Amino acid sequence: MLSESVMEWVEYVRHSCYDVSLDSAADGPDTLAVELNLVRNMKLAVNEEQYNDAAMWRDKLTDLRTRMDLDDNFIRLSQKLSQRRQHSEGILGFMRRRSGIGILSPSPHNA
């Protein structure tokens, strides 16, 4: 028969939470790997005195970083809009509850 500590460990392993997303790659291209690859290519071109190639890699790196900044700004803007929408929905709900009628319901004077 197994000892009590082994049984506790088996029970722990059986009920432990395992998050697969932490051990798997993110969806889409890995921008960090792409950025590091561009920097490596640029450094190799400079070491080989291929300055035109190095300038090409620099331009590609600048384009990548610009796209990443635009994506980050878009995400932040989307989050702000979502927060403002939730805030305004909360205010409208409060007004509806306080007045006892809905905003879109007909006015009691026109009934």
Percent of the chain surpassing pLDDT 70: 63
Q: How far from 61 is each of 10, 15, 33, 93, CA to CA, in Å?
A: 50, 46, 12, 48
Q: What is the pLDDT of residue 13?
A: 59
pLDDT digits (tens, 9 = 90+) for 51-87: 999 999 999 999 988 888 888 888 888 888 888 887 7
Number of C-beta neighbours around residue 38 at 10 A: 20
Place of tokens 């932490």: 22
pTM: 0.48
**Per-residue tokens: 45:** 């071109």
How far apart CA 39 and CA 90 sit, in angstroms, is 48
Domain spans of the chain, in order of start = 28-98
pLDDT digits (tens, 9 = 90+) for 6-47: 666 666 655 555 555 555 556 667 788 888 999 999 999 999
